[in-house]
Amino acid sequence: MILLETIAEPVAATGMFTWAWTMIAVPAIVAGLLLLAGKLSDAWGHLVATAAVFWSFAIAVCLFAEQLLAPATERAVAAPAYTWFSVGEWTFQVGLLVDQLSILFAMLITGVGGLIHVYSIGYMSHDPRRRRFFAYLNLFIAAMLLLVLADNYLILFVGWEGVGLASYLLISFWQHKPSAAAAGTKAFVMNRVGDLGMLMAISTMLAMFGSSKFTEVNAGAASTEPMWATLIGLFLLLGACGKSAQVPLQAWLLDAMEGPTPVSALIHAATMVTAGVYLVVRSHALFEAAPTAQMAVIIVATVTLLAGAWIGTSQDDIKKVLAGSTMSQIGYMMLAAGIGPAGYAFAIFHLLTHGFFKANMFLGAGSVMHGMNDDVDMRHYGALSKVMKVTFLTFAMGYLAIIGFPFFSGYFSKDHIIEAAFADNTFIGVCALIGAGITAFYMTRLMLMTFFGEKRWQPGVHPHESPKVMTIPLIILAILSVGAGIVLNFWIQEWLAPAVGNHPHELSLVPTPVGWMTMAVVALGVVAAWLVFGRSSIPVTAPATNNPITLAGRNVLFGDQVNDFLFVSPTTALATGIDTTDARGIDRMVDGGAQAFGGLSTQMRRLQTGYARSYALTMVFGALVVGAVLILTQLG
Amino acid sequence: MTFPWLTFLGLLPLVGGVLLFLPMGRGAARTLGLVFSGVTLAVAIAVTALHVGGADLAVQVPWIRAFGAWWALDVDGMGLAMVLMTAVLTPIVLLAEWEPPAMRWSAQAFFALVLILEGLSLFVFMANDVLLFYLFFEATLIPTYFLIVGFGGVRRSYAAVKFLLFSLAGGLIMLASVVGVYVVGAAQGVPSYLVSDLAAVRFDGDLGRWLMLGFLIAFVVKAPMVPLHTWLPDAAEHSTPGTATLLVGVLDKIGTFGMIKLCLGLFPEASLWITPFMVWFAVISIIWGALGAIGSRNLMRLVAYTSVSHFGFMVLGIYAFTTASMTGSIFYMLNHGFSTAAMFLVVGFMAKRTGSYDIAAYGGVQKVAPVLAGVLLVSGLATLSLPGLAPFVSEFMVIAGTWTRYPVVTAVSIIGVVLAAVYILRMYQRTMTGPVTDETAARFTGRDLTGIEKAVMVPIIGVLLVLGFYPQPAVQLVEPTAKATLAYVGTTDPAPVVKGAK
Amino acid sequence: MMNPENYLILAALLFAIGSVGVLTRRNALVAFMCVELMLNACNLALVAGSHIHGALDGQVAAFFVMVVAAAEVVVGLAIIVMIYRTRRSTSVDDANLLKL
């Protein structure tokens, strides 16, 4: 709590910072332009879109440079744009907060995003709808930047939904495939479940603090009633689970691999799915006021990191292995974020390095698929290291980084998290350690099945190296996968301290006992994978098995079945029931009333004979009755 | 005396509608209709400018002295928002129905009826006298009935009669209350139907509650709330998209409009008494409507059910009695007019090509008619309240505002937000994506949206986007109504629990 | 001078005869005459009443009735003639289409 006071108020934007909004506006406008211009922009759309992202990257780097030069207390800069709306006592500004945390994200998003744009020029060159693809990618970049640069939770939520939309559009980009369309819908709907958490969290913040600005929420967090602080924390966690594919909202991520591979690399590995981690770190003050919520974050994270790894071990689709791995790695980040001040910087550290090496590997997988006629089944690969040298070498860098090979980037970032986990709770630490071992196992399996062994290529497939426009981004990302760790290792804690209030640790390059242990477990995982998959040949079709562990992994831990049973079937049944109730229940009651009146009038219609004399008789009787009544009342 | 702007505004489309009954050529009739609706829009904008400029536009002329009835018109923020929405939607609907389906009544009759409906609706939103409000409220049923029965689908007469009976039943109950209000007012020395006069009358105790219920039931039928909603899906399914737009987008708003203006504006005590009940009914409507939409196999029904769900949100916001929630409700009334118009009209464009509203009749349209698919997607995203489009702002205000008073109720109601994603995206997935079916290929290839159809959709989507990114002017326009109503009812917003240490 | 009540009794008798005629006779012309008889019975009663009360109101009313009766005869006879032309019958029971 003492540290909270050291968080400096953001200073007003000057100079370069007044340009910050163009980071978001330029890609957004280009996206709109490409969508509206239609076929006119087919020829140059991808170039403009790529240029737009590099514009944002340039601005981000300039801002970062200015922050580096500024004194530590003046690094966070607020740049309000305009009042979105104000109602009652609440005012919602569209405002940007460029601080130490958000600028790192901005550079990751635009940097990796820019590389992936370049890669996509090659990857999507044969797609007739490439222009549209780039428009969606730019839309995503704009929304993601809005998410990380917003200065309040509501604008963050706007970006949050924006990336959800972009993710939906891109997952179901190949809409003619029913599976892709279904995957997009599923991703959006499951994210919406998470959004409920966000909506409730923001509503609670407004009820508690009368504002959703980060500064005001952070300032009030410590004096919130524990129950409400816990609730806000849990709501935010629900939101984070949806976006970051954490258990129990994990089922969409593997299906999301239906999207083009650059999308998987950018959205479903490097940036969007890590938004949940960003959210938790950004809301650190609230979580520190709610230990129960922190505990929930840790539990969810631990379960996910093991579940993701489990899935990774038994999938044959190269992208789905990587997706399982993404789940698992985000679990590590969430774990670090849940541990508290000791872990925030490591969460972000791992997030950045993971962004590099996982994007690298996804793009590498895309390159492999490009050479294999879009086949994703690893059982049809093998021996590709000889024909796709650049892809193999860059992929290998990513591989070494993710398993935590010494001095590669993952080595630093993941080991810190495992150490922090051990410091927090031994059980959690052991789980994180096991996760690291399984990571090594499934990544080694992936490497062996894809690049080594004998050829298991399908007939008519002639693997070839991808064009330069695709390999150059791979090389750059490979360099980052190798070097980012050691560069950031000694610097990131100090840098982030003012923004997230973490406690910097003394770090050294000499491994700690936990570090040695991790290395041992990782080595064990690699050896085990080699024993199983490296020595014997791999069947071209997945062998039938009754092993429950393999079956569960292949079926993605039965997430779909659980969701179907718990939510989809009841909803469908209710929807059908509503239809029936409306038609048979409510309407029948109304119709019954109408029929009663109808029957009555049918009876009364019989009085209408058409004979003038009978009408006359009725009149006479009527007159007599009226006369009688008059006389009787006169008498009375 | 100054120029009676409001009377002029309401009479303009009525005159146009009557003129259109004169014999004339088809082209001339359509042009005349469009010109009249265009001029009405211009006058509505002028009225808005005058109102924002601070001019007093109220018209107040004695009408039936014996009942204390006045020809009294006035607009506040909410009334103006509704007037503007009506004035914008009418020309759009006329353009969308430029070629009404053959074999039915003539285009000329359609244009005439739409203009008459516009005029009557404008008067409802401007009436400042309970009797006048009631008369126009009932009068709107006449053109609507003919619009459904003259131009609708197969079971149009069933749908029209159902609509008429539900509405008349509600209206009859309301008539009793209208009479009762006068009697009570006269007994307290205020023999007048002016809303401003009646606001000073105290309708206490059981009598006040009964009178309030009379109004409320009529409005609940109108703003269809479960279980009095079943007329809407039928009426929407069996009428043309243009009619459905006006029916759901404009006419149903009279329900929520009346709740704020008359139920809350005349019976504050009784309205607070009914609040717990209404809040839960709103939640039921939200979920029920959303589930109904998921279960719909017909596109028009689906859109109608989404509206039931959205009206639930509006009612929830009204009866949560906070500035944010009520402002959100009024803003939602405006936004929903446009989002539902977008849905109905684009669905109409689809049906114009295939002749079917069945979801099962489509598949893979995106491939052959990408613009149509894009427009449907944007309309759908507006309907599911995606940020960046106007309905999100209002839905958020309702949710956040209601949360400050009823967290549990709100938590249940926002399940509707998830269900919204389900019904919209499933519909989009089934109609637009997947392989191109033979049916789709035959009907849609080379027949993407035409120029007129684009001209119809551009203003609607434009409004949704502008109000999504810059809602402040509209929010500021309607907020005074919410504040005044809450001040009259006598509730204050819950204050933030934690005082932020700034 | 006779007892004015006798006029009223006569008027009642005439009215009763007229109404029985309307109810029982099928010939449209006869039924029509009977209606006229009832109207004239009323006139008689009005004039008698006027005499009893010594005021002119009743006589004025009688003139009104005569005017209305004359107008009614015109319309009624026209209808009867039209029906006769189309149906070759003056029976009131033949014109029974006025029903659902």
User: Could you report the per-residue pLDDT of A24-66, keeping only the tens digit for each?
Assistant: 999 999 999 999 988 888 889 999 999 999 999 999 999 999 9
DSSP reduced 3-state for B355:
coil
pLDDT of residue A105: 94
Residue B3, pLDDT score: 86
The percent of residues above 70 in pLDDT, for chain B, comes to 98
Q: Please write the tens of the pLDDT for every residue from B372-411.
A: 999 999 999 999 999 999 999 999 999 999 999 999 999 9
Predicted local confidence at residue A46, as pLDDT: 93
8 Å CB contact of A203 and B421: no
pLDDT band at B502 (very low <50, low <70, confident <90, very high): very low
pLDDT value, residue A4: 44
CA atoms A396, A398, A404, A409: torsion sign = positive
Distance, in Å, from the CA atom of A477 to the CA atom of A270, rounded to the nearest integer, reads 12
How confident is the model at residue A27, as a pLDDT?
95
Q: Which of residues 18-37 of C touch A (CB under 8 A)?
A: 19, 22-24, 26, 31
Q: What is the ipTM of this complex?
A: 0.94
Chain B 256-315, residues with CB within 8 Å of chain A CB atoms: 288, 291-292, 294-296
- Which residues in chain A (600-619) have CB-CB distances under 8 A to chain C? 605, 608-613, 616-617
Provide mean pLDDT across the span B209-235. 92
pLDDT of A306-358, one tens digit each? 999 999 998 889 999 999 999 999 999 999 999 988 889 999 999 999 999 99
Is B486 a member of any domain? yes
Q: How many CB pairs under 8 A join A and B?
A: 183
Answer whether A touches C (≥3 Cβ pairs < 8 Å).
yes
Q: What is the mean predicted confidence (pLDDT) over B94-117? A: 84
Question: Which residues in A lie closer than 8 A to residue C19 (C-beta atoms)?
Answer: 620
Q: Are the beta carbons of A332 and A369 closer than 8 angstroms?
A: no
Q: Which residue in A166, A168, A159, A158 sits closest to A190, CA to CA?
A: A168
Pair of tokens at residue B316: 């929830």
Each residue of B156-175: pLDDT tens digit? 888 998 899 899 999 999 99
Look at residue A1 and tell me whether its pLDDT is greater than 50: no
Share of chain B above pLDDT 90, in %: 74
Residues C18-40 have pLDDT tens digits of 999 988 888 889 988 999 999 99
Give the nearest chain A residue to B392 (CA atoms).
Answer: A158
Mutate to test the interface with A, among C22, C24, C87, C97 (most CBs of A within 10 A): C22
Q: Output helix, strand, coil percentages for chain B, rounded to the nearest 5.
A: 75, 5, 20
Q: Does A577 or A527 have the greater pLDDT score?
A: A527
Touching A (3+ Cβ pairs <8 A), the chains are B, C
Phi/psi for B105 (5° steps) reads: -65, 165
Residue type for A87, please?
V
Which chains lie within 8 Å of chain C at 3 or more CB pairs, if any? A
The number of domains in chain B is 1
A 162-181 near B (Cβ less than 8 A): 162, 165, 168, 172, 175-178, 180-181
**Do the bridges between strand A90-98 and strand B59-64 make them parallel or antiparallel, or are there none, so unpaired?**
unpaired
C36: buried, middle or exposed (CB in 10 Å: 19+, 13-18, 0-12)?
A: middle
Cα B279 from Cα B410, distance rounded (Å): 9
Q: Looking at the complex, does the CB of residue B425 fall below 8 Å from at least one CB of chain A?
A: yes
Task: Report residue B194: phi and psi, to 5°.
Answer: -60, 135
Question: In a 10 Å sphere around its CB, with 0-12 CB exposed, 13-18 middle and 19+ buried, how is residue A565 labelled?
Answer: exposed
Task: Calculate mean pLDDT across residues B17-39.
Answer: 91
Quote the CA–CA distance of B76 and B127 in Å, as a whole number: 11
pLDDT digits (tens, 9 = 90+) for A168-201: 999 999 988 999 999 999 999 999 999 999 999 9
The per-residue pLDDT for A3 is 44
Taking each helix axis as running N to C, give the angle between helix A409-424 and helix A513-529, from 0 to 180 degrees, rounded to the nearest 10: 120
pLDDT above 80: residue B100: no
Interface test with B, best of A36, A85, A92, A571 (most B CBs within 10 A): A85
Q: Does B397 touch chain A (CB under 8 A)?
A: yes
Q: What is the pLDDT of residue B131?
A: 94
Residue B319 included in any domain? yes
Residue labelled with tokens 């500064």 = A215
Nearest to A14 by CA among A111, A79, A68: A79
Amino acid C26: pLDDT: 86
* pLDDT above 50 (res A6): no
Q: What integer pLDDT is reported at residue A23 of this predicted model? A: 93
Q: For residue A189, what is the nearest residue in chain B, using CA coordinates?
A: B421
Determine the pLDDT at residue A501: 74
pLDDT in tens, A270-283: 999 999 999 999 99
Of B382, B203, B393, nearest to B303 (Cα)? Answer: B382
Closest residue to A203, CB basis, from B166, B400, B496: B400
CB A84 to CB B419 under 8 A? Answer: no
Chain A residues in contact with C99 by the CB 8 A cut-off are 608-610
Query: What is the tens place of the pLDDT at every residue in A562-599?
Result: 888 888 888 888 888 888 888 787 778 877 877 888 88
Distance CA B363, CA B206 (A): 56
* Bigger pLDDT: A460 vs B47: B47
User: How does pLDDT run across B195-206, given as a tens digit for each residue?
Assistant: 988 988 888 889
Residue A126, helix vs strand vs coil = coil
Q: At residue A636, does pLDDT exceed 70?
A: no
Domain containing B386 equals 268-492
User: What tens digit of pLDDT does each residue of A380-430 get?
Assistant: 888 888 889 999 999 999 999 999 988 899 898 998 899 999 988 899 999
CA dist., res. B39 & res. B91, Å (int): 10
On whether any CB of chain A is under 8 Å from the CB of C99, the answer is yes
Give the DSSP letter of residue B436. P
**Min Cα separation A634/chain C (Å):** 19
DSSP string, B238-271: TS-HHHHIIIIIIITHHHHHHIIIIIIHH-HHHH
d(CA C8, CA A154) in angstroms, rounded, equals: 93
Residue A100 host element (H or E): helix A100-123
Q: Is residue B241 part of a domain?
A: no
Report d(CA A161, CA B161) in Å as an integer: 42
Q: What is the mean predicted confidence (pLDDT) over B4-11?
A: 93
For residue B124, being part of any structural domain is answered with no
What average pLDDT does the segment A606-610 reach? Answer: 78
- What tokens appear for A364 in the block? 């590498």
C96 touching A (Cβ < 8 Å): yes
Which two tokens mark A552? 């569960």
Sign of CA dihedral A139, A142, A148, A154: negative
Phi and psi at residue A79, in whole multiples of 5°? Answer: -130, 85
Residue carrying the six token digits 């009867």: C80
Which chain C residues contact residue A610 at CB under 8 A?
A: 96-99
Q: Lowest-pLDDT range, A102-106, A605-609, B229-233, B420-424?
A: A605-609
Q: What is the dihedral of CA A252, A257, A262, A266, to 10 degrees?
A: 20
Structure tokens at A284: 């650190």
In a domain, B385, yes or no: yes
Residues 567-626 of A with CB under 8 A from B: 571-572, 574-579, 582-583, 586-587, 590, 594
Per CB-CB distance under 8 Å, the chain C contacts of A605 are 100
pLDDT at A229 over 60: yes
| pTM for this model (two decimals) | 0.89
Q: Flag whether B145 is in a domain.
A: no
Q: Answer whether residue B94 is part of any domain.
A: no
Q: How far apart are the C-alpha atoms of A95 and A82, rounded to whole Å?
A: 7
Instruction: Place B345 in a pLDDT band, splitting at 50, 70 and 90.
Output: very high
CA B374 – CA A175 distance, rounded (Å): 13
At residue C47 the predicted structure's pLDDT band, cuts being 50, 70 and 90, is very high
Average pLDDT estimate for A255-274: 92
At residue A85, the 3 state secondary structure works out as: strand
Q: How far apart are CA B245 and CA B163, in angstroms?
A: 15
What does the angle CA A114 – CA A117 – CA A123 come to, to the nearest 5 degrees? 150
Does residue A22 have a pLDDT over 80?
A: yes
Q: According to the model, what pLDDT value does residue A498 have?
A: 83
Beta bridge partners of B61: B71
In a domain, B362, yes or no: yes
Averaged pLDDT of chain A = 89
Cα B304 to Cα B235: distance, rounded to the nearest angstrom? 9
Residue B109: its H or E element = helix B107-126
Strand partners, A86: A91
